[in-house]
Structure 1
Amino acid sequence: MNKQHILDAYRFRHACKEFDPNRKIPQDDFEFILETGRLSPSSFGFEPWKFLIVQNAELRHKLLPVSWGAQKQLPTASHFVVLLSRTKADLLPGSAHIVHIMEEVQQLPAEAAKQRATRYHQFLASDFKLLDNERAMFEWATRQTYIALGNMMTAAAQIGIDSCPIEGFDKEKVEAILKKEGLLDGERLGVSCMAAFGYRVREPREKTRQSADQVVEWIV
């Protein structure tokens, strides 16, 4: 794929508000999209995310009244994703999640894991001053989740699949529904954002953006 093909995909991508309900994304295509999210970078490589793929029509219907920004997407999207971010409890240096990542995923030697944990604690306590603010820790994880979201939407666009990132929802009410369904451990995870994937029913208006000289400044 050359550079022009990549730029064409960025121009193709838009926040699709309504999808063709009769067209479904092939399983291997959606697994490809998810894989780009899974392979996305995260701070310290600690992967503070989880992706819920909501294909159940009844659950989508329950989410509809508390998701004002997804009124057309929830009923029509081929695939609907709720992106979860980890809470402070799950991101502390000695938490089960962090230990699991270092020991079982990254397979760090004991001494290397100890050094990374020390450096990570310094980062949280001093560099970004996150330890004393539970919501700030969650938002820090959410910022990383958005990296995965961006990669998934771009990957989708590169293979001709539309998407829409969604923040228009009542976070507490969405989380309450997911907890009641047994899909969310509120002590360890919270809702970051949503994303819908499928195929457009109409062409969007031409993409508008500021010019490069308005958003880029070179320091030489």
Structure 2
Amino acid sequence: MTLASANLIRVFDFYLAAMLVLGLMRRWTVYRDTFFILVAVRGRWPKLLERMAGNKNALLNWPTLRPAVLVLTLMVVQMIASRGIWPQARILVSELPEPWWQLIPFVLTLGPMLAVDAYFLLVVGRFDRGETEKYFDYAEKWAGSRRARAIRVLTFGKIDPDQRVNDEVKRGLTELGQTLSWAMWWVSIQMGCRLLFGLTIWFLWALR
């Protein structure tokens, strides 16, 4: 099969799946380290786990999770449409210049999609697992400890290490939630570009 005879609708199926796999591969270390931290929380930092449970809404909420849901939804809808509802749908690369104006919306939507996806593949955030573990170990040592209670009593409550741990956990989860939310909204931009391109090729096919 040559490029000219490629069916753009099926190519888009492959593109969505390939970008999902490549994105996971590029961020595998981040996901792996995050997973290990989450698994270790219950056994290694039980006191912190109690405090995290009280502030979990700062991290897990619908605005944060919504873009990830949209990613999977677009992929599933595209697969169902191209392989279940309209399996006969096809628009070849060689057919794009006929008529010529079809190239305009195609290029205008393809360019931004490729640019945004390339950016997400090249730019990958970092997660310092070692530093996070040290911070959690330190906080676990002070949370609810005798030393923390002694300091609170000796300072007549002016210095409360236990409360400071609570405040730091809440602040950390809030900042992490904001960072995750920011990242997810960038994913929304990515999804918007893909959706626009997908609608464009389906629209061009419907006109035939």
TM-score normalised by structure 1 residue count:
0.20
Question: Which one has the bigger strand percentage?
Answer: 1
TM-score normalised by structure 2 residue count:
0.20
User: Which structure: larger Rg?
Assistant: 2
Higher relative contact order at CA 8 Å, sep ≥6: structure 1 or structure 2?
2
